[in-house]
Amino acid sequence: MKLGWFRASEEARVMWTCHYSINYLRLRFPFSSPKAITCSISLSESSRFFLQSKRRYRGSQVVAMAAPGSLQKSEEEWRAILSPEQFRILRQKGTEYPGTGEYDKFFGDGVYNCAGCNIPLYRSITKFNPGCGWPAFYKGLPGAINRNPDPDGMRTEITCAACGGHLGHVFRGEGFRTPTNERHCVNSISLKFVPANSWL
């Protein structure tokens, strides 16, 4: 545990308590504020973390996303911690059958984390229902998702920036009335939903 200071606004400094774990860094503020705070801090020369406040929820907690590629594991290690179906989709780039996923028609209030490494990927307010049979979001959290063209050049794959887990594909210009004109088509099994009321 480590104590320190950083500037949260032009008016005030806030003391934070830093809890380290292998998957994420968590900062807890000693006050509640309705204002979202977004910032980044450098923990080393090669490691940067993106911080996104849990706006509108109890307390005022900030989740930090791990540096890109920081949670890589061997195939054997992934097989040991993932279910066979999670491994097939997250590590072997499989696809679940449309309409069968847990989160296809689910619209709870919270955050969707990567099922492989537990890093936050999407806020629930960006989820919408395009009727495609898979969970859809119009944008991810900044820095959370990588995009790579499929080998055939037909589609663009999206993966977790921290662990490289396969999420699905992103499509543009389909006519959905979203702020980004994008649809992140994501396998439910690649996600882990964290309800808003579970954040302490």
Q: Which residues are catalytic?
A: 185
Strand order in the sheet with 127-128: 127-128, 136-137, 182-186, 166-172, 156-160, 145-149
Q: Where do the H-state alpha helices sit in the chain?
A: 75-81, 84-86
Interatomic CA distance for residues 97 and 87, integer angstroms: 15
Measured in degrees and rounded to the nearest 5, phi and psi for residue 6 equal -150, 160
> In whole angstroms, what separates CA 78 from the centre of its chain?
19
Interatomic CA distance for residues 137 and 123, integer angstroms: 9
Q: Minimal CA–CA distance to 120: which of 84, 78, 167?
A: 167
Interatomic CA distance for residues 200 and 195, integer angstroms: 11
Interatomic CA distance for residues 65 and 83, integer angstroms: 24
